[in-house]
Amino acid sequence: MTAMRVLTVVLGVLIVLIQYPLWLGKGGWMRVWEIDRQVTAQKQTNAKLDVRNKALDAEVRDLKQGSDAIEERARYELGMVKQDEVFFQVLQPQAVAPEKTGK
């Protein structure tokens, strides 16, 4: 009877030792799940950067090919106007702060 218990314990320990590298070892499931999570996060980052790069590429092509994009940038970023052109600036009214009364 005790030989059977010893054999059971030995087999149980062997099963645990065999399972350890599968779950916690260098190429185990835990490491695979972590790397999979990192890959997913990197793919999302890459997708955002790809959209940004495409927008920058389109802007570069516009600046190289036509003067319309250059004119638009000069107007909006530098406030430039064409010769014989009149520029009107409309200001939004600011809220007037109530005066403080000292009593």
What amino acid occupies position 8? T
Distances (CA, A) of 64 to 58, 59, 61, 99: 10, 9, 5, 55
Please give the Cα distance from 81 to 87 (Å, whole number).
Answer: 7
pLDDT in tens, the chain (103 residues): 688 999 999 999 999 888 887 777 777 888 888 999 999 999 999 999 999 999 999 888 877 887 777 777 777 777 777 778 777 778 888 876 666 665 5
User: How far is residue 40's CA from residue 31's CA, in Å, rounded to a whole number?
Assistant: 14
**101: its two tokens:** 């009364």
Q: What is the pLDDT at residue 31?
A: 84
pLDDT at 86: 79
Domain ranges of the chain: 7-78
pLDDT given for residue 37 in this prediction: 96
As a whole number of angstroms, the distance between CA 74 and CA 83 comes to 13
Angle (deg, nearest 10), helices 2-24 and 29-65: 10
- The C-alpha atoms of residue 75 and residue 82 are separated, in whole angstroms, by 9
